Structure 1
Amino acid sequence: MASPPDPSSARAPAPPLAPGQAPFSALADTVLSRLTASCPPAGDPVRAEGAAAYLKGVCPFLGIPATERRTLDRALLKGTPKPDETDCTAIALRCWDLREREYHYFAVDYLRRHVKRCSSGFLPVARRLITTTSWWDTVDALAAHVVGGLVSADARLTTDMDRWIEDDDRWVARTALLHQLRFKERTDTDRLFAYCLRRAGHQDFFIRKAIGWALRAYAKTAPEAVRGFVEEHREGLSPLSVREAMKHS
């Protein structure tokens, strides 16, 4: 669960953006230049083909193993200053404009590290990332670490989550279900259970899986509450959701 943001952090909201527009950021220029120079030579075409197939062809890969990719990322960020929200926005959107998934992973990891430096005004940027080149591998990390971090820092964003759970985009709804994944004892239990019931009849695998995953995560904090909820609503929940929720009970 995210701790309260450091008041000394730069958290002035970035200006509104036109669709597809990344703001100017000298830091983004530096980071993207280093990133696009260091990553391609480290790629493995055979590994890239397998990774793309595993993610159902959502996007191409360079074929860099996760451990090696993170080592490269640390090296290229060495000596760079801490970002403000505009830098985070520019780096994330510019990475997302690149085709290969490793660039998207870099952006997600960067945002996870620096989400406390972003205001609630960053939520539309997070939504753009969630709804572009969407698959569970980036959506889930953005949900739990970025959107969850923003909501934890500004409880007013719960009203946005109330809208997101109703969204026709499965990835937006999945994010609403998963945004409290790391909240533990600060979980809004009523909201979590209400979200699960609201989408319990959804036919999509990823929504049903998210319901079970969210409940299973909260069961580590409040096992009796989750067990009681599942027993009361077992008939309305999908077998997949129940199975996931009760996996460790």
Structure 2
Amino acid sequence: MSFVTTIKQQFEANENVAYGKKQSDYLKNNFSFYGIQTQARRDILKKCTSIYKDEIKTNFRAICWQLYQFPHREMHHAAIDVFIKEIKNNYQIEDILLIEKLITTNSWWDSVDTLAKYAVGGYLETFPEKKYEIIEAFSNADNMWLNRTAIIFQLGYKQKTDFNVLVSECEKHKQSTEFFIQKAIGWALREYGSVNPTAVLNYVNSTNLKPLSKKEAIRKII
């Protein structure tokens, strides 16, 4: 039996239809859910990965993509958890292709935000020479989730944030009518504002951001 088969069986064995309906409603009914709470899902994943750790370590990229083909959101979250754990300090230059596929498949904020921060953010720390090329491509893509990724990939960078890149992305997308883009701009600015509030306030006060973006950007500064 494989890791994918085993974790699917474990999720099915712990299905809670009523709670799954609530989870699906929360994500606007974009996905099916087994109805497993976060900690229980992680416990199941931990148990399964301990059994199949060798298989996962040697084949985690293919496993993650296989998990992503299932309709249930818990399978997607398991894929992301495995990917983030295994890819750390193990990036290959071509991994950005798989990361982009994961971002643009079964897309919603709960998957994209994790991939943006930990997968793209980590990849570009490993290959900083690829930063401008990749972020420009994501920013110009006809895909809102790639655009959001280009804005928020530096979450967690703190003092290492390239503020010029952040401002460039905010300027490019500041007139967007997409809720998730406006929210991303505010979130990214707010995060950087925790280490450089003056820079963020100066930028917010000197540009014409959408009200939601501005509100989110300065929420913890003033």
Interval of TM-score (by shorter of Structure 1 and Structure 2): over 0.9
Distance 1:178 1:39, change over 3 A: same
Query: For the Cα contact (< 8 Å) 1:58–1:134, is it kept in 2?
Result: no
Query: For the Cα contact (< 8 Å) 1:60–1:100, is it kept in 2?
Result: yes
Query: For the Cα contact (< 8 Å) 1:177–1:196, is it kept in 2?
Result: yes
AA in 1 matched with 2:178: D
Cα distance, 1:216 vs. partner?
0.5
AA in 2 matched with 1:123: I
AA in 2 matched with 1:130: I
2:210 equivalent to 1:229 = no
Distance 1:43 1:146, change over 3 A: same
Query: For the Cα contact (< 8 Å) 1:120–1:157, is it kept in 2?
Result: no
2:52 equivalent to 1:77 = no
1:194 aligned to which of 162, 168, 173: 168
1:107 aligned to which of 48, 70, 79: 79
Distance 2:107 2:217 in 1: 24
Cα distance, 1:157 vs. partner?
2.3
Distance 2:66 2:185 in 1: 32
TM-score (norm 2): 0.94
1:82-139 Cα offsets, whole Å, 9 max, x none, are: 855x723211110110110000000111122122222131111111111111110101
Distance 1:202 1:221 in 2: 26
Distance 2:111 2:34 in 1: 16
Distance 1:221 1:30 in 2: 45
2:25 equivalent to 1:40 = no
2:107 equivalent to 1:134 = yes
> Who is 2:216 aligned against?
244
Cα distance, 1:221 vs. partner?
1.4
Distance 1:223 1:50 in 2: 38
Distance 1:114 1:229 in 2: 37
More deviation, 156-165/134-143? 156-165
TM-score (norm 1): 0.84
1:91 aligned to which of 63, 66, 91: 63
1:185 aligned to which of 142, 159, 171: 159
> Who is 2:179 aligned against?
205
Aligned length: 218
SS at match of 1:78: helix
2:116 equivalent to 1:143 = yes
Distance 1:88 1:179 in 2: 22
> Who is 2:39 aligned against?
67
1:120 aligned to which of 78, 93, 99: 93
Please, what is the CA RMSD of the aligned residues? Answer: 1.4
Q: Which runs of 5+ in 2 are unaligned?
A: none
2:122 equivalent to 1:172 = no
What is the aligned-residue identity percentage? Answer: 30
AA in 1 matched with 2:21: E
1:148-188 Cα offsets, whole Å, 9 max, x none, are: 11011111221111121111210000011111011111111
1:180-210 Cα offsets, whole Å, 9 max, x none, are: 0111111111001111111001110000000
Displaced runs of 4 or more, over 2 A: 81-84
Distance 1:178 1:83 in 2: 29
